[in-house]
Amino acid sequence: MDARLNYFANPAAGKALKHVMSAGKAIKDLPVDAATQELVALRVSQINGCAVCIDMHTKEAAAAGESSVRLHLVSAWREATVFSEAERAALAFAEEGTRTADAGGGVSDEVWAGAAKHYDEEQLAGLVMLVSFMNMVNRLNVITQQPAGDYEVGQFSH
């Protein structure tokens, strides 16, 4: 499968993409632990059907020591016993922040309060930025049918 558009070769897309990539790096430095960030990024990407991001975040999480059991259970996190209460709150937040059309009003007060039990204001801001960013990049990739499977760990770290 070939992508409809090569973002890195297209001057118009490349001009904006350098800022998108910079934002992604800044979000990684926000005060939400790396494991939670990868789980949230993976769940948002699953919901949006972004194969290239699922590939990337599965591989990055595994390279950082995440277990295959937990990675396989992200899509069914509500029924899984392998996630902490904080991770479950972040995954609920990610789902409602992604399914805004389904949730009507976005993240509910109940889900926000659940996340606020485990994350301070700076971390909540980090979750907001991460979920929003992932939804944007998922759409960039889904619209242009970016292929998955070839991602190498650390590929966009430079």
pLDDT tens column, 76-99: 999 999 999 999 999 999 999 999
Residue 151 is given by DSSP the state: -
What pLDDT was estimated at residue 25?
92
Residue 144 is given by DSSP the state: T
- Among the listed ranges 63-72, 95-104, 122-131, which one has the minimum average pLDDT value? 95-104
CATH architecture of 33-143: Up-down Bundle (1.20)
pTM: 0.92
> For the chain, what percent of residues have pLDDT higher than 70?
99
What ranges do the domains of the chain cover? 33-143
CB 83 within 8 A of CB 91: yes
CA distance 113 to 89: 9
111 has a pLDDT exceeding 90? yes
103 has a pLDDT exceeding 70? no
CA distance 44 to 99: 9
> For the chain, what percent of residues have pLDDT higher than 90?
74
Average of per-residue pLDDT values in the chain: 92
Q: Locate 73 and state its tokens.
A: 């259970």
Higher-pLDDT residue of 3 and 67 is 67
The Cα angle at residue 99 between residues 38 and 56, in degrees rounded to 5: 25
Higher-pLDDT residue of 51 and 14 is 51
What pLDDT was estimated at residue 158?
54
What pLDDT was estimated at residue 73?
97
3 has a pLDDT exceeding 90? no
CB 118 within 8 A of CB 151: no
